Structure 1
């Protein structure tokens, strides 16, 4: 399960730093020439400009050099951390690291206070952020706690997620598909009925005899819009239920694609995953990626990023 909060992106130079954090170690660079300590990660020594740097594990102890308290989140995803103590910590080796201070009451935060590292696991994938706390607190590893754990389930077994529980909402976007839905047969009668309703009677959809000779598919195919609409006939068992909202509306689609045809007579089914959760003045938007396939085909016939707005 991933986090929707913006995460640092490891580069070729900084990758050893982030990998060490995953292994619950703090490693910074040291110059082989002058033995000076270097941070942030780079290709040369910031003291003597030599290019012989090595990664060394350090204790993670230091002092609070500076800090500021933020009470308004810069992004909605950080609202569960307010107020944030944004800090600069000076390690015992003399380098300074931008970080956040945790588990320290506001009145106890003092410039120069001794601090130590906390390896904060922020996802089930092992993603780790370096934070700091008072030297008197327990440091070490702070394990990831799935915010969906402990929530009640309905009689269908779906976890019930209150709209007010942002941490749990963000946890829904785990990039995992549901099981496949029931199946629907898209026969020529259904295609013809949609052509009559929509007015789109192009021969590729409605003339089987001509399609045998002129179509690259050698058969008629369903309208892409028809296949998209048929998602309403597909029962997809979502593992969650959003509760605690006043109204819910279909807000539209961020993306709609028809990568593969659905030949007349084909059987389709679908699955979905939560792609994104975002919060704005309009409410909470849940983006549900719907994929509809012809049974047996790996390539989807419809990809629809459906946006549902809760208020």
Structure 2
């Protein structure tokens, strides 16, 4: 599973459950007043309403209560898992858990069949989902399988990801920025040239003397659109190369913001990360978040979500 797929969000109440899974343990709550088991995680016992709940490790022995097979992805990110066996299992303790079945052939799935847990490491940093499989299969820990490992690398050191390899494409959206690009000085001459080209000669951009007195920045600032355009002159060292497509189209921007000014004379640089990958009848759509900063400033001056369409 790639990190782009939606992951559960631990709350204050459920956090011990998810922490235990990362330690390859299944823990559920038991009431100290009436000994009833409780799941999903709550603040009170569902049998006697007492608040004396304690997290206790259980074996994970279970039987299949109900299931359904999905042959159409509920979200595009799950395209690589079809068909999914979405299931409700009943633990030996009597509580029921929503989960998925893995490593079981469709014809072998039977209501009431005995199951055992698999602690599925779905991210490189150890995030874990609870799955179930047949008792005659291997249970325990299922290690994270990085879909980018083993792919060829080009002469620039970039991993070559086929556009048809959805698992690898989804794995690119790891929320990690690239290294910083080269630097560009945004001086008054460049700002004036853009003003002449665009027709936007507002004094805040083009009149340094007035800006010293009236501007809240005490200097002229670059046009936001100028800084955006300058991203074409920033060389971003992407760690990957998409291959195997017929056409690649710049599809526009999903979001464009200018959170901070770029004063005249500033040095800017940029970095990017893959924000999203999705598929549709149009092809594979990759969203690349580009951030441009004034050097030394943590707050970006431009955030541009570039959309690239591969067919």
- Asked if these proteins are the same fold (TM beyond 0.5), I'd say yes
Match of 1:206 in 2: 206
Q: Deviations over 1:209-250 (max 9, x none)?
A: 222222222222211101110000111110001111221222
For structure 1, the 5+ residue unaligned runs are: none
- Can you list the C-alpha shifts for 1:104-133, whole angstroms capped at 9, x where unaligned? 111222222211000001111211111001
Partners in 1 of 2:265 and 2:103 — Cα distance? 61
Partners of 1:57 and 1:295 in 2: CA distance: 51
Q: How does 1:155-304 map to 2 (within 5 A)?
A: 155-304=155-304
Q: Which whole-Å deviations, capped at 9, do the CAs of 1:37-65 have from their partners, x for residues lacking one?
A: 22222222222332222111000112112
TM superposition score normalised by structure 2? 0.95
State the distance in 1 between where 2:31 and 2:75 align.
38
Aligned residue for 1:78, secondary structure, equals helix
What is the match of residue 94 of structure 2? 94
Q: Quick one: distance in 1 between partners of 2:306 and 2:22?
A: 34
Paired with 2:292 and 2:40, the residues of 1 have a C-alpha distance of 46
Task: Report matched runs for 1:70-109 at 5 Å.
Answer: 70-109=70-109
Cα contact 1:120–1:143 (8 A) shared by 2? yes
What secondary structure does 2:132 align onto?
A: strand
Note the C-alpha offset of 1:2: 6.3
Q: Does 1:36 align with 2:36?
A: yes
Q: Residue in 1 aligned with 2:310?
A: 310
Task: State the secondary structure of the residue aligned to 1:94.
Answer: coil
* 1:296, distance to aligned residue in structure 2 (A): 2.2
Give the number of equivalent residue pairs: 311
For residues 49 and 260 of structure 1, do their structure 2 counterparts lie closer, same or farther at Cα, with a shift above 3 Å needed?
closer
Please tell me the root mean square deviation across aligned C-alpha atoms, in Å.
1.5
Matches within 5 A, 1:2-41: 3-41=3-41
Partner of residue 132, structure 1: 132
Moved over 4 A (4+): none
Does the aligned pair in 2 maintain the 1:290–1:305 contact within 8 Å? yes
> Separation in 2 of the partners of 1:108 and 1:144?
26
Question: Please, which runs of 5 or more residues in structure 2 have no aligned partner?
Answer: none
